[in-house]
Amino acid sequence: MNQWAFVAAAYALALLATATVIVLSWRAMREAEGQAEDRPRP
């Protein structure tokens, strides 16, 4: 049993999942803040 394969899988999964949530949160924030600032006031 190659132990490094388990280590690599654990790190890849954790770092990819973290990166995904960062990107999604960042994009949602930029989009929402952009819309909140751009929309003309009534």
Partner 1 sequence: MHRFANPARFLKIARPLTGWLFWPGLSLILAGCFCGLFVTPADYLQGETVRILYIHVPAAWLGMAGWSGIAVAALMQLVWRHPLASIAGRALAAPGALFTAICLATGSIWGRPTWGTWWEWDGRMTSMLVLLFLYLGYIALANASARQGQGGVSAVTAIFGLVGAINIPIINRSVVWWNSLHQGPSITLRGSSIDGSLLWPLGLTFLGFSLLFGAIVLMRMRTLLARNKIEARMQRLARG
The footprint of partner 1 (CB under 8 A) covers 1, 3-4, 6-7, 9-11, 13-15, 17-18, 21-22, 25-26, 28-29, 32-33, 35-36, 39, 41-42
Q: Which amino acid is at 2?
A: N
Q: Copy the structure tokens of residue 42.
A: 């009534």
Q: Measured from the CB of residue 19, what is the shortest distance to partner 1 in angstroms?
A: 10
The phi-psi region of residue 27 (left if phi > 0; otherwise alpha if psi is between -120 and 50; otherwise beta) is: alpha
Q: Measured from the CB of residue 28, what is the shortest distance to partner 1 in angstroms?
A: 5
Dist. CA 27–CA 34, nearest whole Å: 10
Q: Measured from the CB of residue 41, what is the shortest distance to partner 1 in angstroms?
A: 7
